[in-house]
Every structure is written in structure tokens, then in C-alpha cells.
Chains A and B, each alone.
Chain A
Amino acid sequence: MADELEPSGESPEHEDPGAHLPSPTIWPFAFAGAVALILVGLIVSTIASVIGVVLAVVFGFLWIRQATREVRGEPEPVEAPEPEAVESEEGPVRIERARFLEGATLGLGALIGAVVTLPVLGFTVLPAFVEQGFPDVDLGPLDKYPEGEWRIATFVGRPEDGNVSRRTAFVRYNGLADQVPSFTIISNRCVHLGCPTQPQGPPGEAEEVKTSAAPVTLTPTQPSGFGCPCHGGAYDIEGNRVAGPPVRSLDRYEYSIKDGNLFIGAPYSVGEVTGAGADAVVVRYRWTDPGVHVDGPEEYLYPYSP
């Protein structure tokens, strides 16, 4: 059995009493590790190099001491069990080495596999969950938005991404509230499954408005509400669900006013809107995907959001 397990060419060395075989030792490995530490320390930190030098000296001394043991006439310590085991029929030591090599191969393979796979897996998955943020986008001067009227504003959300980031929002100027202009900006994204909702009313003549960024298209309209062509979701003029499958009210956008221009900001999700216009009370939630409940008992189906 032992003959089968051990590689050919090794057995004569063990059986031939004249052959010299250095006793197994750990010190060369430790010495090599210390040298590696010196080299790493040259790049990273001098202290590591100094520690590496000390270790190299210590381990090198121990290695030499062990290698010269025979010459110095020192008796070999506890080497006795090994040759005995080699002689025996069972050959337990050799099986252990085979096992060790097998385990080392598998273990190193797994380690190399993990070192290669984990970064790739992380790169595949993680960038999708990085918060990208929403740049403020210029929607044109305030006088393009007469009080109480709706405009369908089509704008480029991320100039660097181009037309693929083109978005549409419904914008209404509510007049001054506490000396500050108040706007209602509703996203056209249906909160059922994300189709574009349409205003329930005839659209007027579109107007292209030059802004500090890409031009914005403003189309006047007098809607009675908003409707989705895909699955019949219907919303009232404040974006509350009236009928159909949507699970919450239409999303809204934050806004700011800089140098007399209206800037659209980040979107947020809305549970419910009570009241209307500048006095509307909006229950805000973190912006989330269509079809995701933000309130009611179903909210607990979505405990985490990326």
C-alpha cells in the first residue's frame, strides 16, 4: 500500500542507509518570510524592514544551527518516530504527506479562486448600489411659469449621459407662499410599473426654453389629473391615486431658485397629499422604485432599500 502511495524515486533514498537526507526544518520558510518582509518594508515602511532584518538574522541563525547539527556532533532530536513509520507497512507518515499536499492544493486553489473572484463579483454587483445623486437641472426663468398653470417640462437629467437621461415632469407655479415662490413638481413616472403618465387634458403649443444647460421643452396644459396608458392607473391633480393599480401617489421633485431660474432637484416618493397647491401637506419618503409600497401594512414587505 505504501508503495502505491509514494512517488517513485523517493523510496530508495529512505531505504538506502548511505543516502543523506537533511532533517525537515521550518527555518528556511521563516527566513524567506523575513526577507519578503524586508522587501515589503522598503516600499511600505522602514520599521517593517528593520523588523524583517532582525527576524532574518534570528531565523537564519536557527537555520544554520540546525543544518550544522550533524557536523557539530549534536544528536538529532526526536527524529526517531519518522523513520520507524516509513519502515512500517502502513506508512502513515507518507499518507499524511499526500493528504497534506492534497489539502494544500485544494486550499491554495480555493484561496487563489477567492482572490480572483471576490473583486470581480464585487465589481459586478456593488457599483449598481452606489448613490449617484441628482444634479440640479435648470428649468428656465420663473416668468415661463404663470401662476396656477401647468407646464410639461422635458429636460436632460444628467448632461453627461445625454438623451438617455431625458425626463419629464409636470410643473405648476403656486404663487408666493411666505414671500417665497412655491412650485409643485410631479414626476411623470407612474408608480405602478414606471410607464410615463399623461396629463388628462389637451396639450398646448410646445416652447423650447434656453437655459444654462440643455434646452428645456415646456408644453402648456390644463389637466384634470394624470393617467397612465399602460395599465390604466389614474391620479388626481395633486398626484394622489384615484383608480387603477398604483400603490402610492406620484413621485415629486425638490426644487430651488437661483438667479431667477427654477432648478429641479432630487426626486422623492410620496405617500399621500392632503390639501392643494402651496398649502398641500405631502407625506415624503425616500425615493424608491415604482410598485414599492411606502406606507400601509405592505410597507413591511420592503424593509431595506439600496
Chain B
Amino acid sequence: MAKPKLHHRVRKFVMMPLDWLEERSGLVGAVHYFLFRKVPHDTNWFHTLGSATLTAFIVQTVTGVILAMYYKPSPEEAYASIQNITNELTLGWLVRGMHRWGASVFIILLFLHLGRVFLFGAYKYPRELNWLVGVLLLVLAMLEGFTGYLLPWDQTSYWATVVGINLNSTAPVVGPFLADFLRGGQEIGTETLSRFYSLHMLLLPGALIGLIVLHLYLVIRLGVTSPPWSKDAAGAERAEVVTAPRGLVEPRPRGDGAAADVRGRPEG
């Protein structure tokens, strides 16, 4: 047995750069913690809706970045550049189609995810803050839809945006100001398109990414909820609770808040 087995050698070879990285950054451990954290044993397919929404968002980000390479946000060129992307550029129709239909998929998945969280009661203590962040994400996503709809600069998108902005203007007190801000003036003009483009591809995605990071942090910190029909004790399960010697009956205080009604659960 002088020579170590092959798979041991392969493993050592593979792990070497990872060990190097882990020693200097702790990133491998962090990813490991994220991927192998404890979740309730009776999670089901409905719990994947959040990840599906995130995937749709990533698709929107990637396709959007590529479309931005060819799209020209000026009233003279916008429509022609969209025609160029769709009809002339290789696979442009596919990327634009992914972005266009992916937008609808993103919103639909957002609502399904919201419905899952609501029906499973996953918005309850201690996850109220994550619900609020999620609502903000929904609002931002719909603003993405509103600003993105103008960009093709065809008759449908132009008049839909006219009506959309004027709907805003009917809001009491602030309405006319809101409409002027969206238009960049009293009338839809050259300002409006570039303004919507900037909001659509810089400001709103930045805010979305920041809030998604916060959303995921809270998901990892607070853990995943069991479905309402679960026979396990309710409550969040954190890594500390899992690794600590557990008591089934006694409530286990967590963190500083020491929530009395959250107790550790047996491993599934």
C-alpha cells in the first residue's frame, strides 16, 4: 500500500487550488456553508420558485447586457437598432426574444413565489423583513417592465408609455410632478427615451441586485420554512441550532433576541 489510491491523488490535485483559496479568503467554506446548509426535510418543489425567479433575473441581466451592445437609445435610431437586432444580427432574434419573454416569465415567477410564501405562511416571524424586501423587489421589477416597454420605440410602446405616464399624472397632488419627472419635461421627447433607458439598465437593476443580496442573506440567516402541513415543530433552524446539542422540549434561545417560541427541531 505504498501508493495512495488514484481517487485520493485526484482529489488532492483538485483540492489544492481550492485549499489555497480557502486559506486566503474563506470563500470555499462560505460557499460550502451556503450549499450544504440545513433545510427542513419536507421542503417540496414549491420551494424552488424563489430560485427560479432568481434564474429568470440572471437571464434578464445577461441578455440585457448583450442587447445594450447593439441598442441605440435615441429617438432617431432606437427603432432601427431594434429591427437590426431582430432581423439582421446572428441570433439577435433569440437574445431579444429571451429578454422580451423572459421579462414576462420573471414577473409571473415573482407572483408565484409571492403566492407560495403567502400560502405557506413563510412571511411570519421572524421573516417579516424578508417579505418587505420582497415587496420592494416586486415593485422594482414592475418598474423595470414599465421602463423597458418604451425602449423598442414603436407605436405600441410609445402610446402605452404615454398612457402609463398620464396615469401617473392623475395621482392627487404629486401626480403632475411624477409625470414631469418621468418624461423629463412637459412632453415626451428626446429626454424621455434616454431617461427610461438609464433607469431600465442602470438604476433599477442596481437596486434590484442590492435587494436580492439582502433577500438571500435573510433567507440563509433565517432558514427555510416547512410547509404548513409539516408535523415538525415550527420555527427557523440555523446552523448553530443544528450543531449544538439539541433539546426537543426546551425552547432554545437564538441570538440576542432570544425568541422563546422558536425551538430546535430533530434532524429529518
Contacts and interface: CB of A to CB of B under 8 A. Distances in A.
Contacts of B186: 132, 287
Interface in B179-193: 179-181, 183-191, 193
A127 B184 contact: yes
A15 B187 CA distance: 73
A164 B184 contact: no
A146 B31 CA distance: 79
28 contacts: A128-B180, A128-B183, A128-B184, A129-B177, A130-B185, A132-B185, A132-B186, A161-B190, A163-B75, A164-B75, A164-B189, A165-B189, A193-B166, A194-B163, A194-B166, A196-B159, A230-B159, A288-B176, A289-B169, A289-B170, A290-B166, A292-B169, A302-B172, A302-B175, A303-B173, A304-B176, A304-B177, A306-B177
Interface residues of B, number: 28
Interface of A: 125, 127-130, 132, 157-158, 161-165, 193-196, 230, 287-292, 301-306
A195 B159 contact: yes
A161 B176 contact: no
A178 to B, nearest CB: 32
Interface in B187-211: 187-191, 193
B166 A291 contact: yes
B28 interface: no
A289 B175 contact: yes
B240 interface: no
A43 to B, nearest CB: 36
A290 B163 CA distance: 9
A127 B172 CA distance: 22
B76 interface: yes
A163 B189 CA distance: 9
A306 B185 CA distance: 10
A201 B112 CA distance: 48
Contacts of A132: 185-186
